[in-house]
Chains A and B, each alone.
Chain A
Amino acid sequence: MEFLTDIALLLDSTIRTATPLVLAGLAGLVAERSGIVDIGLEGKMLAAAFAAAAAAAVTGNPWAGMLAGVLASMFLALIHGYVSIAQRGNQIVSGMAINIAVAGLAPTLANFWFHQGGQTPLLGDDARFSAIVLPFAQSAESVPIVGTIYAEILSGHNFITYLTVAVIPLVAWMLYRTSFGLRLRAVGENPEAVDTAGISVTKLRYQAVLIGGMLCGLSGVVLSTGMGAGFIRDMSAGKGYLALAAMIFGRWKPVPTLLACLLFGFVDALQGRLQGEDLPLVGEIPVQFTIMLPYVLTVLILAIFAGRMDAPKASGIPYEKDH
């Protein structure tokens, strides 16, 4: 029984932990499928987390926070788009510039506005997306297994987590079932062909970058107003890079990316659970090793699958019309 409870806990934690990863992973995916490498996920996530926490703190309204967060991320995405699309600049440099700028700018602005040393004020329950208990969750709890799954694992997450569940099929549908998605994928593989067909490469890429900015914004919003209750410097803690790794591991496809994010989330939950536990045969694993788990796994996975990477062919290459 304790084993089942543990599994339920781990899965519950996995869903929470994976939410920002999935959103950022999909953001990176949409951008890269259009041929724009998006290493600035981390910075956009952090900017959105800050903007959301700041707006929610001032207005007391999480929706205002969400709007501000998404807009902040889209604004940065637009800058990245301008550098990479219009100016044909180096996309890695532009992305890293965003990461570094936000890491410094967010705490500075927070300090300037709130005078709390680079944090925003802690948000009250009304100013953040708190846990939503799904209907009948309480009564379902007594039903074995199915009830546990429903009440413990599926119920009690915040709004953005449920929104993410809807966003995943939406992004997949957009990419594979709409003409916009077809063009978007084509522009990442062979922009010349798209251009020859009389479709604007520039416009498509801007659209992709902005959609990515929106999704990445949501991942930041969930950090500071869903999972946490306020902005703290560097609170994204490498999740943007982890999402990028998940996207590569998921070979630029929505469902495998989702699975990769869930795997990372699960391993992270598992490492917390393993700390200080006496395991059969091996005994207690030192904290240093359990904390390494997610990273070791990332390196292993990337090393094993690196040979079979099928990145969008035009990814990272600025498109120049006249050559």
Chain B
Amino acid sequence: MKIIQRLAALLVVLLLVSFLSYLLTNLLPGNPAIDILGPSATKAGIAAVEHQLHLNRPLLVRYLDWLGAVLHGNLGRSYHTNQPVSQALAQRLPVTVELLFLSQVISLVIAIPLGVLSALRPGRKLDQMVGAGSLAFLSVPPYTLAVLFVLVFAVKLKVFPATGYVPFTQSPLPNLRDMVLPAITLALGTTAVYVRVLRAEMIATLQENFIVMARAKGLPTWYILIRHALRPSSFALVTVAGLNVGTLIGGAFLIESVFSLPGIGLLTLQSVYSHDFLVVQGVVVVVAAAYVLVNFLVDALYLVIDPRTRHAAASS
């Protein structure tokens, strides 16, 4: 029952988001027909292209046409390349997904130990250092970091390439080499947030009676931290990570354009510049659906973390 409700809500969200983005892209100054024909376009030529692309019809009618096609699984074709939008997405999406995935793995691998260790002795040296470090990374916008990283690691040290992309399926290692800098850049901002969120909740958990009890059993500290304290302390982390997906996708768009990774971010930017609206629409729908789905998964993750919510879910 709950799942059906959630799916209905998902559909409403997708509908609203797609309409708003349709509206916004069409309100952009400029005309796709002029982009296609170039500066030497004649009035008659523009009218012909507009007619061909149905651009002369009212906005609402065009939106409903598009929606009807989408419901039949057809996202339309690019105005410029005539490539099906779904095909363009299929090419570009894996790059962005890989970038997001790697950055989150890096983020969590760094954030969990740092959060746990700084919670163990709050106010001590390590905690202060981690706190100052995360504040620093939180205050610097990712695109600044991206440029800085390119300068240091790619231009000066030449450890990692500044730009370029090889698909993972073609050659995994060069692919990872290309991905390291963008993924780290994207990870740093979220890492700082995760460390702070986890630390705060961990400090509260460590005051609990069951932690006193675990200590009184003579269990080693690492065991208590991992087995007893981490799981009850990860609610906020999971929640924030889920809500962060939106910010992260926004960040990925920037990072992709700095490192010229051919993901959906770069695709979107190019399409916006060239008024290739149907491609933008396709991206928006996919991103919105992904965002809602990820948060759906986060809710499911609560059930895994805390058995009490499982019980409540079963009885309601």
Partners in one complex: no
CB within 8 Å of A: which residues of B?
Answer: none
